[in-house]
Structure 1
């Protein structure tokens, strides 16, 4: 716990995640679970826990609703003891969960990007008494889709507006170049950096125009880094922590990013280093680091001059992404609906006709960052006109995408991160997505063959579109040959059969308790004229029809009283009495 200050530590113990010591009462209070005591080393140790299958349910409460960091300690076996049931178990923290590092959780809204944004600052050299100019570097990443971008903001206003357009769930402040002052919660120990005159002061209440954005401080070269949730309002008294941090060893050698970010501005390279180093301290046991396929190509530089600069207030006033009828509190994470509550009534909700999750995310980005490039605008208009004129082609392509395309970006990221659960299904989804893209390519190719000579513009547009496709049919065949779907179907049948057996056993157990209660009453000499039995999913109840009906008796547990006492209560009270 000392290595992970300011976090809730959940330790995997068999089929449960447990919390101990001073964190147990807090966890019990937040989640509404039972607080117990365990005898250890002659002392009573508070503990609280929940089953493994409820992890995502409680992560949502702790991380998204309460704004807490959660460190997850999993069980691992030694490589030579993997197949030995009695082998030694080693526990280590493999992940520290924050809002911006949620990757595969089912409660994430697949129609909304879950961006984490890094911010750094650079003071421009000035001569004389001239006011120093400050430039800001931005890097934003969706860990679940590998959507990675950078930009340079020339002033504070453009920085604020760009963050509003991105709509992040978490912001990472480079503590080596920025002093953001006080925030709600725990303030990092960056007192040693305050002596550096090059650090730029930022007002979080001005920078973050929306509430519920998690703020993390981080400095790759710092011996200690911590993070804290912030709503950028009502700043509290700063607190410092001198406890050792997980970054003591991990940041001794900051990740090399020169290979990946050489085309970028130096300030962009700096913020990319900060953001990726921060992710290394969160995704400890994942391949989502600087050496993974996630960052094997440079992040995409987004020149602000190529898009319309919509400021934060205009973005809200025009109701582009969210309606004023609903308070916008950054992207919602409700997976049950493609439109979040705040999006209903917005421009996005009105024009959205996408059939894939990735297309929905891209549309939201385009609306918040309209292109100012004439060639890009004309190319999009040509495609819109073409599909408007060719209704059959449009409907055929939409049908293919709706049925088989899936969300291949997130699937590929799950495979990259080596997430064991669901790998077979993910591979099949990749195969199906390749098949869908191949079918779309065939539809476009067939359409090109039937285009007349007088429709050269449409033919040119389709040829330009089809040139972006890659032939991945061999990969799809390899995936199909490597996976026997009959085995998967058989496994699902067995799982369904097992679930039905468990359900039958549970139903039989209720019936057994019901019949047992009848037998007990019969042995006590109580006829059906004086009482009756009622059963529900968990209990059997005995009800008396007579004998002082005005009595208001309380429920009685059979483990605490005898059957004879239960019979007496039943005779003299008009109530339901538990007899199981």
Structure 2
């Protein structure tokens, strides 16, 4: 450091300010990296590693041209790194000595605004989790806040600590902030980055004050926050602090903080989101193959992101759901209206992200041009929405602000094809600004001035062939042929001799030349100033334009759902508060799209009331049990976002929670086996489901021994039926469970129809009432190529095992539910015998046929059980006289 040059000292100061981020240090037309940053960048970006100050202690160095910044930033961010951009904030031509440089922003996955770095269809949330002081305290609450810098949306919520990871799964942040000393295991989405922050960043007083200053309010009461929302404010303060620290620019487009309340949306836990593949598939983690990809018909990126939000947080309020369904119905029935709206929406650009770049000072001339084009498409779109039957469509029409004055200025000022870089000029229309037009004429060579000057000099000197010309070596000059050389005026200064002529310059010509040579720079500076004024005009209208953008996104989603309903022949669901499901000819919304038209077999789903509320589905592997139960859950989710559903008819009771445990997975990184994960997720369902919930379970208990698995599955079904009483679809290979339908009023058996023909098994994929008579597992094994001898032996073992759990009447021994003994049930009195199974046996015996030995044996059995109960309850008994 002591021997560092002034520029390297400047580098070290900037590096210290940006912490662990890679420092991209602007030097002329290049961004340079030094020391360990250079080695890292060389490895990740494929840059040539060189060195500066070659000698005993060379400094590793790597760099790239300044115009390639976005591409290299994308590569760095994709690897989870942060990058600090250190710009020259002073014109090198005007600098006196070392050019001044400053870190203008720190780029991380959660702070992106550039289109080149963002997925247009995916939200790019930065989240923060504020943990309670005591993680073990009963009822501990945490705060979660999440913001999208690229659109300005900002939310905060208070959630039980146990639901933090469920909320993180719902939000899907790309970066999450957590206290640097926090000992809490966050389950982040794939490729998401965890950023540790100092504890003071989560302080309530600091956060509340910073938020109030940012929103220019005295408190956050006006946004709907109360004294109970302290954890949410702590998390929101941490988000704002991080954005201010990294962006070092205006964040006015983040103009409100919205409270997110549990109960306002359908609760879907982390495991259920994975099982149902709402927005990402289990196998690849990609959007392709998910429910979101199957139903998305949006015309704009804004609509695509909003549809993902709706799927992440379906509604639970019947009025709001019906409002969306009414709008979708109107657009579905009026095809010309729907087509016109979608046509206009195709001319709309991503206004939300354009406004974010305007507000942060990072917009380009092309961005402003796109804002103007978007505004130009609004009048026709708004006109189509007037006098609509749907209340929601009418409200959205009122939220569209045409901003005609902004549109007029942008259209009159900007060229149709604007460049990306503002400082390069070439964005302002001719005729918009008189001084700019003059400078452009000069920069272009001023043909009119040159022609006029040439004519005047020819007349004054009497040299008819006098010519004014230009070359890069001498600039402007006057050329006189040798035949007229003697007429050369004295104020002409000879510059060059050629074969047939002499070339001269004059003071007047040199002065004009200087004006021409600087005109281009002055024109670019003037254009940049005009660009900044246009940017400020748009920025001043950010709030109005954000409201318009939000309305356009909703219109796009509603029109998209209507288009989907018409394309795929969906029906409008009847929504009810009753816990029922009545679906006729329902289809899986993803497979219905993926498979060949008409090849998917539709099925009914009837649950609730006389149809029972716990449905046990049996049948062989590959027959479609998992598809069927997933289908039921997906149709419920679709209905609660306000979408039509793939069925002939559907009545759907609004659920408060949806739980799905489908498929096997382990969590080796968390030290959990497949069976432990299965039981953990099942435990959560049993502990948190309510009578209004929808539960779909697949093959519960298969991760352990057969008898353990059957026992657990049996007990789980009993708990769902007796204690919770919720709508349940339970797919299983344990045929023993079908006996529950004979002992529990709300249990019904369904099975997947199978056709046997000449020892062949044909899966019909049709769900029918009743229990399957066999599992066909051995048949499937034979189809898979298991040797015949193994299959034959398996049949023998199966027959023996099935016989062992049947009683003398051929009924399952498991179906008899024993009475549960409770502490205090033991009744020691001489006046009334305790209710006990042994006493029941005694009462049922015929006294005339009872032998003394048989009676003594029963009394001895009773005595042993009474002694055992007394031992467990620490009671003393007088010995019973046999």
Give the TM-score taking structure 1 as reference length.
0.63
How far residue 2 of structure 1 moved from its aligned partner, in angstroms, is 3.3
Q: Distance in 2 between matches of 1:281 and 1:14?
A: 26
Relative to structure 1, the CA distance from residue 45 to residue 466 in structure 2 (aligned partners, 3 Å threshold; closer, same or farther) is: closer
Relative to structure 1, the CA distance from residue 303 to residue 54 in structure 2 (aligned partners, 3 Å threshold; closer, same or farther) is: same
Q: Distance in 2 between matches of 1:155 and 1:166?
A: 16
1:272-291 alignment to 2 at 5 Å?
Answer: 272-284=236-248, 286-288=249-251
- Checking the alignment, whether the CA contact within 8 Å between 2:324 and 2:392 is kept in structure 1 is no
Matching residue of 2:200 = 221
SS at the partner of 2:385? helix
Matching residue of 1:63 = 77
Relative to structure 1, the CA distance from residue 373 to residue 23 in structure 2 (aligned partners, 3 Å threshold; closer, same or farther) is: same
Task: State whether structure 2 residue 168 is matched by structure 1 residue 210.
Answer: no
Task: State whether structure 2 residue 176 is matched by structure 1 residue 171.
Answer: yes
Q: Distance in 2 between matches of 1:432 and 1:136?
A: 44
Matching residue of 1:47 = 61
Matching residue of 2:369 = 428
- Checking the alignment, whether the CA contact within 8 Å between 1:260 and 1:295 is kept in structure 2 is no
2:283 aligns with one of 307, 321, 325: 325
How far residue 426 of structure 1 moved from its aligned partner, in angstroms, is 2.0
Q: Distance in 2 between matches of 1:34 and 1:215?
A: 30
Relative to structure 1, the CA distance from residue 485 to residue 218 in structure 2 (aligned partners, 3 Å threshold; closer, same or farther) is: same
Relative to structure 1, the CA distance from residue 14 to residue 220 in structure 2 (aligned partners, 3 Å threshold; closer, same or farther) is: farther
Task: State whether structure 2 residue 426 is matched by structure 1 residue 491.
Answer: yes
Matching residue of 2:156 = 150
SS at the partner of 1:18? strand
Task: State whether structure 2 residue 314 is matched by structure 1 residue 370.
Answer: yes
1:130-529 alignment to 2 at 5 Å?
Answer: 131-156=137-162, 158-175=163-180, 179-181=181-183, 202=184, 204=185, 207-219=186-198, 221=200, 256=212, 259=218, 261-262=220-221, 263-264=224-225, 265-284=229-248, 286-288=249-251, 293-296=252-255, 298-326=256-284, 328=285, 342-402=286-346, 404-419=347-362, 422=364, 424-445=365-386, 448=387, 458=389, 462-483=393-414, 485=416, 491=426
Q: Distance in 1 between matches of 2:171 and 2:398?
A: 30
SS at the partner of 1:96? strand
SS at the partner of 1:151? strand
How far residue 260 of structure 1 moved from its aligned partner, in angstroms, is 6.3
Relative to structure 1, the CA distance from residue 131 to residue 144 in structure 2 (aligned partners, 3 Å threshold; closer, same or farther) is: closer
- Checking the alignment, whether the CA contact within 8 Å between 1:356 and 1:407 is kept in structure 2 is yes
- Checking the alignment, whether the CA contact within 8 Å between 2:50 and 2:61 is kept in structure 1 is yes
Cα RMSD of the aligned pairs, angstroms, is 3.1
Relative to structure 1, the CA distance from residue 493 to residue 149 in structure 2 (aligned partners, 3 Å threshold; closer, same or farther) is: closer
Relative to structure 1, the CA distance from residue 82 to residue 378 in structure 2 (aligned partners, 3 Å threshold; closer, same or farther) is: farther
Q: Distance in 1 between matches of 2:132 and 2:372?
A: 46
Matching residue of 2:121 = 111
1:224-272 CA distance string (max 9 Å, x none)? xxxxxxxxxxxxxxxxxxxxxxxxxx99x95645646333222222211
How far residue 462 of structure 1 moved from its aligned partner, in angstroms, is 4.5
Relative to structure 1, the CA distance from residue 149 to residue 84 in structure 2 (aligned partners, 3 Å threshold; closer, same or farther) is: same
SS at the partner of 1:133? coil
1:546-572 CA distance string (max 9 Å, x none)? xxxxxxxxxxxxxxxxxxxxxxxxxxx
How far residue 468 of structure 1 moved from its aligned partner, in angstroms, is 2.8
Q: Runs of 5+ in structure 1 lacking a partner?
A: 182-201, 224-249, 329-341, 452-457, 495-580
Task: State whether structure 2 residue 17 is matched by structure 1 residue 3.
Answer: yes
How far residue 82 of structure 1 moved from its aligned partner, in angstroms, is 7.8
1:170-210 CA distance string (max 9 Å, x none)? 001144xxx434xxxxxxxxxxxxxxxxxxxx1x2xx3153
Relative to structure 1, the CA distance from residue 180 to residue 107 in structure 2 (aligned partners, 3 Å threshold; closer, same or farther) is: same
1:62-120 CA distance string (max 9 Å, x none)? 2222x22222211111xxx6873877511121222211112215031111111000110
SS at the partner of 1:145? coil
| Count of residue correspondences | 399
Task: State whether structure 2 residue 30 is matched by structure 1 residue 24.
Answer: no
1:377-434 CA distance string (max 9 Å, x none)? 01100001000110001000100110x21100001111101125x1x32222222222
How far residue 3 of structure 1 moved from its aligned partner, in angstroms, is 3.4
Q: Distance in 2 between matches of 1:75 and 1:59?
A: 18
- Checking the alignment, whether the CA contact within 8 Å between 2:280 and 2:287 is kept in structure 1 is yes
- Checking the alignment, whether the CA contact within 8 Å between 2:331 and 2:337 is kept in structure 1 is yes
Q: Distance in 1 between matches of 2:234 and 2:63?
A: 41
- Checking the alignment, whether the CA contact within 8 Å between 1:123 and 1:132 is kept in structure 2 is no
Select the structure of larger CA radius of gyration: 2
Q: Distance in 1 between matches of 2:404 and 2:428?
A: 30
Relative to structure 1, the CA distance from residue 75 to residue 40 in structure 2 (aligned partners, 3 Å threshold; closer, same or farther) is: farther
